[in-house]
């Protein structure tokens, strides 16, 4: 009989469907690893990196206006002229045909090299500075995208960790419900409790099984969301390696109010980016105003010219030019008015962002303080619920009371476990919010 059972077991194992060849086990990530991945490969971060490269390209374009320009040209010309179009009205010669007015062909061959260099161009210098400030603004925007991606990944990670904790709680609820069902059945068999107690216990087991199925589905969905936040293939959903421990979500952000506000003012990329845009708007306005200043250029032209290249002779031209703008139909004044409005607009945004940063820091600190207090209360509530279940079970075992007390204690324990998980999740989320408000979400661990 033993050999028969063993053979059947081996056959069933051999016929069982194998795992797909390309299937991969979920990758385990810590919170710090998840944040680092999101800050580096999230699509929003990648797009921001491209915008930094675009801004760097504009710097090269602006710098070109201050650098030497060298061009070369070689020509070979065959031309005819109508003397009358040149203002040369020669007297008609009797007997000459009408086409005698046509002169040529004239042959001209030239090879030339031209060099030009601005000596003083204040407007171009300011435009170069404005483009460099544009790079600083784009880099700040890259930091904003990285911080937002890090925060999104951290919150997705915390939700996945919370879903894992809820799943474990539901598993413990089911184990407890099954143990109490076995106790109720034993009490019924001993004749110390009615059949209704067994029915209640079985109902609680069925309810726990349903809650476990829901928790498992939520766990799987949270991992898909985490993969999306990390910029990964949702089919290869990662698995959190960290649990909702007391220190999860910590960062370099200080937790003292004045220090946190000052720290955020020094580290928030939104503020730095807007300050760079303000400086760029001021540089653009200065560049437009500088168009009123004279511009000094030098140029040199070397080459050879002649009827044919073999008979060409060397020629040159040296030029020192001073260009003084006079009137452009007040177009410059209109542009200055527009840029002045942009400067005022950016100044308003800088102040608004500074106030927003401070409010986000204060709100995060309030949530963190409240969450820590709630976590203490939830831990105490969980311990009391465990004591209540133990006491109710003891009373039921001793026949002092029916298992209605046990069922009520079970429900209290379920709520207490959820409250404890919610409190720990709230504290970790508040830490993530504080890190984002302080501008160091990429340091979350």
Comparing C-alpha atoms, which of 274, 255, 253 is closest to residue 264? 253
Confidence of residue 96 (pLDDT cuts 50, 70, 90): low
Q: Which value, in Å, is the radius of gyration of the alpha carbons in the chain?
A: 40
For residue 356, tell me if it sits in a domain.
yes
Q: Are 156 and 225 in contact (CB under 8 A)?
A: yes
Please give the pLDDT value at position 255. 92
Q: What is the pLDDT of residues 174-228, one digit of tens each?
A: 999 999 899 989 888 888 878 898 898 999 999 999 999 999 999 999 999 999 8
CA distances from 149 to 100, 322, 432, 436 (A): 81, 53, 12, 10
Please give the pLDDT value at position 192. 81
For residue 267, tell me if it sits in a domain.
yes
| Extended beta strands in 292-348, E state | 295-306, 313-323
Confidence of residue 7 (pLDDT cuts 50, 70, 90): very low
Task: Return the bridge partners of 115, or none.
Answer: 70, 300
Please give the pLDDT value at position 32. 92
For residue 20, tell me if it sits in a domain.
no
Give how many domains the chain has, as a whole number.
1
Element (H, E) at 359: helix 331-397
Please give the pLDDT value at position 259. 95
Please give the pLDDT value at position 4. 37
The C-alpha atoms of residue 283 and residue 128 are separated, in whole angstroms, by 9
Q: Calculate the CA dihedral of residues 281, 285, 286, 292 and round it to 10 degrees.
A: 160
pTM of the model: 0.77
For residue 104, tell me if it sits in a domain.
no
Please give the pLDDT value at position 101. 66
pLDDT of 86 > 70? The answer is no
The C-alpha atoms of residue 401 and residue 180 are separated, in whole angstroms, by 14
Q: What is the pLDDT of residues 290-347, one digit of tens each?
A: 989 999 999 999 998 887 777 789 899 999 999 999 888 888 889 899 999 999 999 9
Please give the pLDDT value at position 97. 61
For residue 212, tell me if it sits in a domain.
yes
Please give the pLDDT value at position 20. 41
Q: What is the CATH number of the domain that holds 339?
A: 1.20.1600.10
SS3 of 120, please? strand
For residue 208, tell me if it sits in a domain.
yes
Please give the pLDDT value at position 93. 61
Report phi then psi at 117, rounded to 5.
Answer: -150, 120
What domain range is 229 assigned to? Answer: 26-68+122-291+331-443
């Amino acid at each position: 009989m033993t050999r028969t059972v063993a053979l059947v077991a081996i056959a069933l194992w051999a016929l069982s469907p194998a795992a797909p060849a390309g299937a991969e086990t979920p990758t385990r990530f810590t919170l710090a690893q998840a944040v680092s991945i999101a800050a580096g490969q999230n699509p929003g971060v990648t797009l921001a990196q491209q915008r930094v490269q675009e801004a760097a390209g504009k710097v090269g374009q602006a710098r070109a206006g201050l650098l030497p320009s060298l061009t070369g040209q070689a020509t070979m010309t065959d031309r005819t002229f109508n003397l009358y179009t040149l203002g040369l009205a020669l007297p008609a010669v009797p007997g000459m045909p009408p086409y005698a007015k046509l002169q040529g062909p004239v042959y001209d061959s030239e090879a030339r090299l031209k060099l030009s260099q601005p000596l003083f161009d204040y407007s171009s210098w300011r435009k170069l500075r404005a483009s460099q400030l544009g790079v600083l603004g784009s880099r700040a925007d890259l930091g904003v995208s990285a911080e937002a991606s890090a925060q999104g990944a951290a919150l997705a990670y915390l939700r996945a960790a919370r879903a894992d904790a809820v799943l474990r709680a539901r598993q413990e609820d089911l184990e407890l419900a099954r143990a109490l069902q076995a106790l109720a059945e034993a009490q019924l068999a001993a004749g110390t409790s009615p059949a209704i107690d067994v029915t209640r216990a079985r109902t609680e087991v069925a309810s726990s099984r349903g809650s476990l199925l829901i928790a498992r589905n939520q766990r799987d969905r949270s991992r898909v969301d985490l993969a999306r936040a990390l910029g990964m293939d949702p089919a290869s959903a990662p698995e959190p390696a960290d649990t909702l421990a007391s220190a999860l979500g910590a960062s370099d952000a200080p937790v003292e109010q004045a220090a946190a506000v000052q720290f955020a003012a020094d580290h928030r990329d939104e503020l730095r980016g807007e300050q760079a845009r303000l400086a760029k708007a001021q540089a653009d306005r200065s560049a437009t105003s500088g168009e009123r200043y004279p511009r000094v250029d030098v140029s040199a032209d070397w080459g050879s010219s002649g009827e044919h290249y073999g008979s060409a002779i060397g020629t040159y031209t040296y030029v020192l030019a001073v260009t003084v703008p006079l009137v452009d139909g007040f177009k410059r004044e209109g542009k200055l008015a527009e840029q002045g409005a942009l400067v005022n607009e950016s100044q308003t945004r800088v102040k608004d962002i500074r106030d927003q940063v401070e409010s986000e820091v204060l709100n995060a600190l309030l949530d963190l303080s409240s969450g820590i207090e709630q976590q203490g209360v939830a831990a105490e509530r969980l311990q009391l619920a465990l004591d209540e279940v133990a006491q109710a079970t003891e009373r039921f075992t001793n026949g002092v009371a029916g298992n209605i007390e046990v069922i009520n204690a079970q429900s209290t324990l379920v709520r207490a476990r959820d409250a404890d998980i919610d409190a720990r999740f709230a504290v970790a989320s508040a830490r993530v919010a504080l890190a984002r408000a302080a501008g160091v979400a990429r340091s979350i661990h």
